[in-house]
Amino acid sequence: MKIVLCYPVEDRHVAQIRTTLQQAGVQAEVVDAGQERIAEQLLDADIYCGHAKVPVPWPEVVAAGKLKWIQSSAAGMDHCLVPEVIASSIPVSSASGILADQVADHTMALLCGSMRSLPVFFRAQQKKEFIRRPTRDLHGSRVGIVGFGGNGRRLAEVLSPFKTRLFATDCFPEDKPEYVEELLGAEELDSLLPRVDVLILAAPLNDETRGMIDGRRLNLMPRGSFLVNMARGPLVVEEDLADALESGQLAGAGIDVTEVEPLAPESRLWEQPNLIITPHVGGQKSSRLDDMTDFFCLNLDRWFRGETPRNLVEKKLGFPLPEHANWKKAP
Ligand SMILES: NC(=O)c1ccc[n+]([C@@H]2O[C@H](COP(=O)([O-])OP(=O)(O)OC[C@H]3O[C@@H](n4cnc5c(N)ncnc54)[C@H](O)[C@@H]3O)[C@@H](O)[C@H]2O)c1
Ligand SMILES: O=C(O)[C@H](O)CO
């Protein structure tokens, strides 16, 4: 049995994984693979736990026929759900929920920052200008969250004391918390858009969501609305976002993710006065490695007891079904 790790683990994380294996009565080699050795290490691995940014040659790994389980250390699964992995019988589980507190913090920063016109004030500050500009209130506004999984749910919880009116869409609109006014089906997005002042994207990237926020949909929102994208850049058509900001259809926006990362120097988005761009850091947290290792150990334990890993991903959809989702603390 060989377990390959490719997220930035420290010795104590490897030791914790070895202890979990020992307790489960499993003899296994645990390899902390550097990115450059990943292909070579994975060809004869049984279990892989690794990060989104690691370039794994999935077709070769699947063809080698040895891998039995992929645990992603990212919530977004677009990095490993290539056709070969989807077609294979290898189960895949996500890290959804591990970073939900930090994603909620960062979303609040982008949301409050753009609604309170912070980019405009920062630019003025750099020029030592003391200017006043209109700002908008999060309190009392109507917020729509697209994607009500680990991140969307945590964000709704964080937003609830702000006395916003909260709405959400999801493919499985069930388990609505009482502080959410309506939880709608994913297909009801168009009917939600005219009813919200703020739209927050927290859905995975897949064939359904790629380009879902385009000019047509931005124009369904009330004039002067706000958009925050914490999910994946390609959910939004960036030229349409720039148009909406320039025309005033959107009064502001905050994006932690862009279609291509890093954002190209020639992108019109850099020039937008009330847009905050952060470099995909929403999920950064100091204890990420500890929490990820705890989660992997929990799942290893389940795996060796013959139980389904938490956050088991429905590969064709690219996210876990509610019955497997960690936010639901599935049995
Ligand atoms: N910016 C960051 O650093 C950061 C950090 C973590 C996650 N993410 C991104 O956020 C996404 C969501 O994370 P999560 O942990 O909540 O994932 P999750 O898998 O727990 O939840 C995703 C939810 O989106 C729903 N969904 C799927 N398609 C939808 C659609 N068309 N409309 C509405 N809802 C839809 C699913 O039903 C699911 O409940 C990830 O896929 C990832 O891409 C970004
Ligand atoms: O999906 C995630 O977990 C974040 O975007 C970090 O990769």
Q: What digits encode the pLDDT tens for the residues 160-198?
A: 999 999 999 999 999 999 999 999 999 999 999 999 999
Give the strand pairing for 198-201 and 225-229: parallel
Rounded Cα gap, residues 223 and 32, in angstroms: 51
Whether ligand 1 lies within 6 angstroms of the CB of 254 is answered as no
pLDDT above 90: residue 331: no
Q: What is the mean pLDDT of residues 140-166?
A: 97
Q: Are residues 126 and 159 in the same domain?
A: yes
CA atoms of 187 and 301, how far apart (whole Å): 37
Answer yes or no: do 269 and 237 share one domain. yes
* Pairwise pLDDT comparison (54 vs 224), residue with the higher score: 224
Among the bound ligands, name the one nearest to the CA of residue 203: 1
If asked whether residues 88 and 18 sit together in one domain, one would say yes
- Is residue 202 located within the same domain as residue 255? yes
Classify 168 as helix, strand or coil. strand
At CA 89, angle to CA 83 and CA 90, rounded to 5? 85
Ligand 2 atom closest to the CA of 257, numbered from 1? 5
What ipTM was predicted for this assembly? 0.99
Report DSSP state, residue 171: S
Our answer on whether the CB atom of 99 is closer than 6 Å to any ligand 2 atom is: yes
Which ligand sits nearest to residue 328's alpha carbon? 1
CATH number at residue 258: 3.40.50.720
pLDDT at 87: 98
Q: What is the pTM of this model?
A: 0.97
* Amino acid at the residue 100: A
Whether residue 275 is predicted with pLDDT greater than 90 in this model: the reply is yes
pLDDT exceeds cutoff 70 at 330: no
Pair (106, 91) in one structural domain: no
Same domain, 265 and 311: no
Residues 78 and 7 in one domain: yes
Judge if 38 and 169 occupy the same domain.
no
How many whole angstroms from 320 Cα to the centroid of ligand 1?
A: 10
Q: Which atom of ligand 1 is nearest to the CA of 325?
A: 20
Would you say the CB of residue 309 lies under 6 angstroms from ligand 1? no
**SS3 for 142?**
strand
Query: What CA–CA distance (Å, rounded) separates 70 from 82?
Result: 13
Distance (Å, whole) CA 95 – CA 204: 13
Residues 273, 175: one domain? yes
- Domain end residue (candidates: 234, 259, 277): 277
Pocket test residue of 51, 151, 153 for ligand 1, highest count of atoms within 8 A of CB? 151
Which helix (H) or strand (E) covers residue 2, if one does?
Answer: strand 2-6
Structure tokens at 264: 């190209």
Task: Let me know whether 7 and 114 are in one domain.
Answer: no
What's the number of domains the chain is made of? 2
Peptide bond into 173 cis (omega under 30): no
* Residues 90 and 195 both lie in one domain: no
Q: What residues make up the domain containing 20?
A: 2-96+285-328
pLDDT beyond 70 at 280: yes
Q: pLDDT tens across 5-48, in order? A: 998 889 999 999 999 999 999 999 999 987 778 888 999 999 99
12 and 139, same domain (yes or no): no
Q: Of all atoms in ligand 2, which is nearest to the CA of residue 52?
A: 7
3-state SS assignment for residue 98: coil
